[in-house]
Amino acid sequence: MRTIAFYSMKGGVGKTAAAVNIAYLASQAGYSTLLWDLDPQGASSWYLAGANRVKGHKLSDLLKGKTPIAEFIHESGYPNLDFIPSHTSFRNLDLKLDQDDSTNLIKEWLAPLSEETSLVVLDCPPSLSRLSEQVLKAADAVFVPVIPTWLSLNSWEQLQAFAKEKKLKPSRLHPFYSMADRRKNLHRDLIDGQDEYLPKGLKTIIPNASVVEKMGENGTPVELIAPASVAADAYRRLWREIQHLL
């Protein structure tokens, strides 16, 4: 079983859209995929379930061992793709992790799923916290969406510094440009200068496209909304890059 995460210190950078679309494409490629929505806002749960949202379990049920993680899992309606929906109690996860920093609970909780799951996708909340640290340690690769702006690039540099401070392997971090709009001079300049400004970045650029916003309206991945769109093609190319790293 391989575990990947989509993470950013900043909100509103296309993190959840990427997590959902990559999880869907992985499932269609034959991977038995589990998407875990760790963000208490529950955006990826909404994207997968839409109006038919399911109620997640309280975090305390998992922490106290009352409920095995397998019972947190729901079917998405797509072959090979299951998910663990968010719950508002996830907002307290950092406090719980601070109380027990002797083990990586994320990794420990996922371990029983290894026989039936080939890929776990973690959608993480935008914060720099104990949860962030555990995710960075538990994931085999972490994909970091970066908007082509100086502020977003600065947050990427802060993440690298955090990883270095915590002695986490920097090779696990893979940034990529997200929500890019070449009509904007700054976006265009930073994209054209990627070798200088984002030298470790993946080559795929996710555009700022209205079809991505429709995911919330339709509750489905972009591949099913507009498979011929530029955005759908970009997510397919991003998946191919990610697949080569698994």
Tens of pLDDT along 69-123? 888 898 888 999 999 988 665 566 665 666 556 568 788 889 989 889 999 999 9
Record the pTM: 0.92
Helices (H) and strands (E) in the chain, counts: 12, 7
Alpha-carbon distance of 191 to 201, in angstroms, equals 11
Extents of the domains making up the chain: 2-245
Nearest to 90 by CA among 123, 136, 133, 112: 123
| Structure-model confidence comparison of residues 147 and 65, the more confident one | 147
Is residue 162 within 8 A of residue 7, CB to CB? The reply is no
pLDDT band of 52, cuts 50, 70, 90? low
- CATH node for 2-245: 3.40.50.300
Nearest alpha-carbon partner for 7 in 167, 153, 143: 143
